[in-house]
Amino acid sequence: MKMPQEQVERIKELGYTEAEARFLYIVAVHSGYFTLGQFRAFTKTAYGKRPTSFAQKLINRGHATVRDYMRRGSIFHLFSRTLYGQIDKDNLRNRKRHSFDFMRGRLVLLDFILANQDLNYFETEQDKVRFFCGEMGIPKDALPAKVYEGGLDGKPTLRYFVDKFPMFLASPFSGAPPVATLSYVDSGFETSSHFVAHLAAYHSLFRELKTFRFLYIASKDAYFQKAQERFRSLVKRPLESDVSSEVLRYFKVRAKWERHEYVVPITEDLEFLKEARQRFQGEQFDGVFEAWKTGKVTEQEVGLEFSRKKPEQAVFFSTFLVRLHGSPVDEVTRRGDGCMKDTHHRYRHRSRHPRGDAKLLGA
């Protein structure tokens, strides 16, 4: 992991040890939220004075707050502009207060980072844009983006890769050269529609990549099979197959939809139609569709028109099972470290922390 020692030293200047400063750098860049269980996992320490002292320093210096999660443990939020400023990242949205749903996802994400510190991550939005547009020559309008209203000058702001899920270069299998690896973090409390929407947001980028790997990160392996099936049908199969056959299927489903033939909606067709409308938009597709619908061109001619668009892509899908380190998301309060709450009252939370490392499952 790229961790500039100069910036780590700046965090140490605020009164933290080397290990504490390195941990805070990771939290600031990747999640904004953490638990003392994750701090113990990083420093390889047990319950007791060291994590308690670390927690008290954070609170006393005004660098973090603590939120009680439904009486099941405490979640720390690293929010201090002073601390983020020490690493030149005081504009990161990790500083902002978020919902518990968001926090749960960030705790899973942080456990993944802690289990894979050997990877060199694209840490910021600028790093990712620079890699895809500068090094790979991908047009900027192919990147996943979101518009935020009311910037500093009152104008809308366009931001890229706002999900901030882990992204890095890695080999899809042993002996292969490293490829761009994108990911999705499932907090365990989301529906499959969130994953489908995420894939749709990235589809333009997927189409521009000759090869890439997609990593599905979750704390329960029960989600893996369904996620792989979704990815295969919405991304892998369309990208690795003859585009002409996908276009023809789109034309047929779209025509049936426009003729109101779906008395009983077929979920698979409707999901395909929604995704295909984003993939196959523009005057070329609309013009050929109208010509095909009115009988001016045949199915064979449609195939010939789009056969030259057959991509030469290799798409890989992997899963990663995260072992939660003392996360209050689904751990019952049992034993734990002393810590401080948002109030000035001392508080002890007690939680049982599972042992074991994260496990990488199949490429």
Q: Report whether 336 contacts 363 (CB < 8 A).
A: no
pLDDT of residue 70: 57
Radius of gyration of the chain (CA): 24
- Beta strands of 23-73 (E only): which ranges? 33-34, 64-68
Residue extent(s) of CATH 1.10.10 domains in the chain: 5-116+330-361
Q: Per CATH, the architecture of 5-116+330-361 is what?
A: Orthogonal Bundle (1.10)
pLDDT of residue 351: 33
pLDDT of residue 145: 92
**Residue 36 half-sphere exposure, CB side, CA atoms within 13 Å?**
31
pLDDT of residue 282: 78
Give the whole-angstrom CA distance, residue 21 versus residue 36. Answer: 14
Tens place of pLDDT for every residue, the chain, 363 residues?
888 899 999 999 999 999 999 999 999 999 999 999 999 999 998 887 899 999 999 999 999 999 876 555 789 999 999 999 999 887 777 777 777 788 889 999 999 999 999 999 999 999 999 999 999 999 999 999 998 876 566 778 889 999 999 999 999 888 889 999 999 999 887 778 899 999 999 988 998 898 999 999 999 999 899 999 999 988 988 787 767 888 889 999 999 999 988 877 787 888 888 878 877 877 888 999 999 999 999 998 888 887 755 556 789 999 999 987 655 554 432 334 433 333 333 333 333 333 333 333 233
Phi, psi of 202 (to 5 degrees): -100, 0
Q: And the tokens for 27? A: 């939290």
pLDDT of residue 189: 74
pLDDT of residue 328: 55
Three-state secondary-structure class, residue 182 = strand
Give the whole-angstrom CA distance, residue 231 versus residue 236. Answer: 6
Give the whole-angstrom CA distance, residue 105 versus residue 136. Answer: 29
Task: Please give the model's pTM, rounded to 2 decimal places.
Answer: 0.74
Q: Report whether 215 contacts 318 (CB < 8 A).
A: yes
